[in-house]
């Protein structure tokens, strides 16, 4: 089960908000922990792994390399179906996510293993050849946001160092940190301006496919509404049969896809479906700082994190608890994650 539940709060600021505002401190501590960390020797292929937010963060941090020497694989898939070689880097905020730890344990000996966590004395650190503790403190909300950015920048630094691809993580971290007040205000305005939906789709292409999946996860966790993250063009193949006036479609736009984003926005108006476009024109628009296309997820995801938080406030929902106030959901969690497994 989820072993540590945060103290239950009755209103704003919830722990999720405190964690969002603490992202700059987490990033500074993570950069300090990672920038001198070297994998060393012949790493072979580098394979990042994790579950949920940790998996998504590894994708965001490593995909700018666009290099086949670096891959990301979901941890359960890695454990059950793959025979990897090279170096496996497993990420788990708590350090005890079961399938991530199991994957490292299974392949240790055949591969070099590195475990990344916010907890020093955790299974993933003990089960790996090398451990790396990041962040300034754990993320105390069950709707992890600060941990995502710590994990993502750690993945970004390790990838850059291993490939000699970049060393601009201080710049990327600074752009994230200094825009937090603006994105907080923007997310609040967007959450107050939309119709509260019954369902949401989040669309992204290229490097923002993972942004769509991660933001859909956070929208579900924070608001308890159904949200699906899907590749931009794939949305047009089946999803449109379930959109209507009670649907919100969130779209990540970049110069490469802005023409197709415009098509989808116009089409959604035919079904009275509201659109919220990040860095583009929709029924609602969020103008978000833009680094470049491959690094755009760093700021795009943060903007929707704040939107998710403020939408939860508007709906009267505690975003920290994943519905664990209801014992049925705790019982579900205890079945899929035995004690000490999440």
Query: How do residues 151-210 score in pLDDT, each as one tens digit?
Result: 999 999 999 999 988 889 999 999 999 999 999 999 999 999 999 999 999 999 999 999
Is the model more confident about 337 or about 231?
231
Same fold, 15-176 and 181-315: yes
pTM over 0.95: yes
Give tens-digit pLDDT for 97-107: 999 999 999 99
How confident is the model at residue 42, as a pLDDT? 82
How confident is the model at residue 1, as a pLDDT? 47
- Supply the DSSP string of 191-236, one letter for each residue: HHHSPPPSEEEEEE-GGGHHHHHHHHHHHHHHH--EEEEEETGGGG
CA-CA distance, 108 to 285, in Å (whole number)? 47
Q: Give me the residue label for tokens 């993580």.
A: 169
Give the class (CATH, top level) of 15-176. alpha beta
- Give the contacts of 114 (CB within 8 A, at least 6 positions apart): 39, 87, 88, 89, 90, 128, 129, 130, 131, 132
For the structural domain made of 181-315, what CATH number should be given?
3.40.50.10490
The residue extents of the domains of the chain are 15-176, 181-315
Say what percent of the chain tops pLDDT 90. Answer: 92
Give tens-digit pLDDT for 296-326: 999 999 999 999 999 999 999 999 999 999 9
CA-CA distance, 201 to 242, in Å (whole number)? 10
Supply the mean pLDDT for the chain. 96
């Amino acid at each position: 089960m989820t072993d540590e539940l945060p103290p239950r709060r009755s209103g704003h600021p919830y722990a999720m908000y405190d964690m969002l505002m603490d992202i700059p401190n987490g990033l500074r501590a993570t950069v300090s922990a990672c920038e001198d960390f070297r994998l060393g020797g012949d790493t072979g292929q580098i394979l990042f792994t994790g579950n949920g937010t940790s998996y998504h963060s590894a994708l965001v941090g490593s995909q700018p390399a666009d290099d086949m020497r670096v891959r990301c694989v979901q941890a359960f898939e890695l454990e059950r179906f793959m025979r990897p070689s090279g170096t496996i880097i497993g990420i788990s905020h708590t350090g005890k996510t079961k399938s991530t730890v199991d994957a490292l344990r299974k392949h240790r000996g055949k591969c070099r293993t590195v475990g990344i966590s916010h907890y020093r004395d955790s299974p993933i650190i003990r089960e790996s050849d090398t451990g790396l503790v990041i962040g300034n403190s754990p993320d105390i909300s069950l709707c992890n946001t600060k941990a995502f950015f710590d994990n993502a920048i750690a993945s970004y630094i390790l990838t850059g160092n291993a490939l000699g691809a970049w060393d601009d993580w201080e710049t990327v971290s600074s752009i994230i940190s200094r825009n937090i007040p603006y994105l907080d205000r923007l997310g609040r305005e967007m959450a107050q301006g939309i119709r509260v939906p019954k369902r949401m789709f989040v669309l992204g292409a290229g490097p923002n496919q993972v942004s769509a999946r991660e933001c859909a996860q956070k929208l579900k966790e924070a608001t308890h509404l159904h949200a699906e993250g899907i590749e931009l063009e794939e949305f047009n193949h089946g999803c449109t049969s379930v959109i209507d006036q009670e649907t919100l479609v969130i779209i990540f736009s970049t110069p490469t896809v802005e023409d197709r984003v415009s098509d989808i926005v116009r089409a959604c108006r035919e079904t009275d479906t509201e659109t919220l476009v990040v860095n583009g024109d929709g029924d609602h628009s969020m103008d978000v700082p833009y680094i470049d296309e491959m690094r755009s997820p760093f700021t795009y995801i943060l903007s929707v994190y704040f939107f998710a938080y403020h939408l939860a406030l508007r709906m009267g929902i505690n975003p920290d608890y994943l519905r664990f106030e209801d014992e049925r959901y705790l019982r579900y969690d205890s079945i899929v994650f035995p004690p000490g497994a999440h």
